[in-house]
């Protein structure tokens, strides 16, 4: 039985053995997935092709490896159109390939796959960004217009208490839009400065104290305590003071927002060789593992309703990521459901960051 399954099937088109070896050597040397097909069977496939296409073993029917109808037309039929066929979700979710078929002599067909995943992801991100940003702005705007209209149309029929409630909602929604616009602007500014390393020497201990003071009000509202642990004599880091302040503001705001109410937010800093490692930790319910890689995406939210009601713009961690990148630092998010979340930001010390050019 097994015998039958593994028995090689020889291609009906005969290529002399040395030519086959030459073809295989050539194809194997190339990094992109490549197949050579004759009469609907795979004569030669390289490692890259076998990694991407489940059934791309030599001797197999090509329909086991490639299923796209337009690609099969070019491989099996008379259709010799040279344009590409877009393959979606082949070799992994979200992956995209451009498949091209070129005829060779002797009825052989060369199949090449070019990886288009990155280009597609970039384009998708751009489209998503515009769609998301407008969606995010539209939601508070609709509330705003709705309440303002009600107030205007109802006129004097609205009692003072209702009027006060409505104006408070209008104010909150307007503030939310304002925060969102501010975040969008600062995100684009940070991105614009990506390639100019920041030059100030920033004292992190003082900066973290300032962050703690600024968040004191918000902490009191949640009944939370902020504990700062920064030893004296911490080396200064090379940074942009305003951006670093924004970075820690965002992290502390998140920790307060998603931490346990009545819990403690711990901010710590310590020197590690040529670097300063800082961490902001909460004792909230944590974040499930599958969300962590996506947290720094713009507008990615684990729980959209909760994030919005807590006043989040969905851009906080995206801004953090970009600031850390501009500072040549590292950002690590760790979380354990039920235990809390720790965000660690490691920044190069001022001397180690290299002389400003």
Binding footprint of another protein on the chain (CB under 8 A): 1, 4-5, 7, 9, 40, 54-55, 60-70, 72, 88-90, 93
Q: How far apart are CA 135 and CA 129, in angstroms?
A: 10
User: Least Å distance between CB 291 and another protein?
Assistant: 12
Nearer to another protein, 279 or 287 (CB): 287
Nearer to another protein, 88 or 206 (CB): 88
Nearer to another protein, 55 or 235 (CB): 55
| Residue 238, both tokens | 């090379």
Contact indicator for 342, 280 with CB cutoff of 8 Å: yes
Nearer to another protein, 66 or 255 (CB): 66
Question: Any idea how long the chain is?
Answer: 357
User: Least Å distance between CB 317 and another protein?
Assistant: 21
| Residue 250, both tokens | 């965002």
Nearer to another protein, 100 or 241 (CB): 100
Q: In what order do the strands lie in the sheet with 85-88?
A: 41-45, 34-38, 108-115, 96-103, 85-88
Burial class (CB in 10 A: 0-12, 13-18, 19+), 126: exposed
Counts of helices then strands in the chain (DSSP H, E):
12, 12
User: Least Å distance between CB 120 and another protein?
Assistant: 13
Strand, coil or helix: 105: helix
User: Least Å distance between CB 319 and another protein?
Assistant: 24
User: Least Å distance between CB 258 and another protein?
Assistant: 18
User: Least Å distance between CB 339 and another protein?
Assistant: 18
Nearer to another protein, 72 or 218 (CB): 72
Residues 6 or more apart whose CB falls under 8 angstroms from that of 235 comprise 271, 276, 349, 350, 351
User: Least Å distance between CB 321 and another protein?
Assistant: 23
User: Least Å distance between CB 5 and another protein?
Assistant: 8
Place of tokens 């030519």: 19
Strand, coil or helix: 91: coil
User: Least Å distance between CB 212 and another protein?
Assistant: 36
Nearer to another protein, 274 or 303 (CB): 303
Nearer to another protein, 83 or 157 (CB): 83
Of 80, 70, 86, 117, the C-alpha closest to 101 is 80
Nearer to another protein, 31 or 93 (CB): 93
Residue/partner pairs of 131-140 with CB below 8 Å, 24 or more apart:
132/298, 132/299, 132/314, 133/180, 133/184, 133/299, 136/180, 136/299, 136/313, 136/314, 137/177, 137/180, 137/181, 139/308, 140/173, 140/174, 140/176, 140/177, 140/180
Q: How far apart are CA 59 and CA 33, in angstroms?
A: 17
């Amino acid at each position: 039985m097994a015998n039958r399954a593994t028995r090689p099937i020889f291609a009906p088109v005969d290529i002399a053995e040395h030519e086959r070896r030459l073809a295989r050597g050539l194809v194997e040397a190339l990094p992109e997935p490549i197949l050579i097909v004759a009469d609907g069977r795979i004569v030669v496939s390289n490692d890259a092709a076998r990694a991407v296409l489940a059934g791309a073993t030599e001797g197999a029917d090509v329909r086991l490896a490639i299923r796209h109808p337009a690609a099969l037309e070019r491989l099996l039929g008379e259709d010799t159109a040279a344009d590409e066929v877009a393959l979606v979700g082949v070799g992994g979710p979200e992956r995209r390939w451009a498949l091209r078929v070129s005829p060779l002599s002797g009825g052989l067909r060369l199949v090449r796959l070019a990886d288009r995943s990155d280009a597609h992801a970039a384009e998708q991100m751009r489209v998503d960004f515009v769609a998301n940003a407008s969606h995010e702005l539209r939601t508070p705007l609709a509330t705003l217009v709705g309440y303002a209209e009600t107030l205007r149309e109802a006129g004097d029929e609205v009692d003072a208490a209702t009027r006060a409630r409505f104006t408070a909602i209008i104010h909150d929604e307007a503030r939310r839009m304002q925060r969102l616009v501010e975040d969008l602007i600062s995100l684009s500014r940070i991105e614009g400065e990506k390639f100019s390393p920041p030059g100030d020497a920033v004292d992190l201990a003082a900066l973290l104290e300032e962050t703690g003071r600024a968040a004191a009000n918000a902490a009191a509202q949640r009944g939370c305590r902020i504990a700062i642990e920064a030893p004296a004599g911490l080396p200064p880091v090379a940074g942009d003071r305003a951006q670093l302040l924004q970075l820690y503001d965002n992290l502390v705001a998140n920790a307060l927002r998603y931490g346990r109410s009545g819990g403690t937010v711990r901010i710590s800093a310590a020197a590690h060789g040529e670097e300063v490692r800082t961490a902001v930790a909460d004792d909230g319910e944590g974040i499930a593992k599958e969300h962590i890689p996506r947290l720094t995406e713009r507008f990615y939210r684990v729980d959209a309703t909760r994030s919005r009601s807590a006043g989040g713009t969905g851009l906080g961690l995206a801004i953090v990521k970009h600031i850390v990148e501009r500072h040549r630092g590292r950002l690590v998010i760790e979380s354990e459901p039920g235990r809390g979340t720790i965000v660690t930001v490691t920044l190069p010390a001022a001397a180690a960051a290299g002389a400003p050019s």
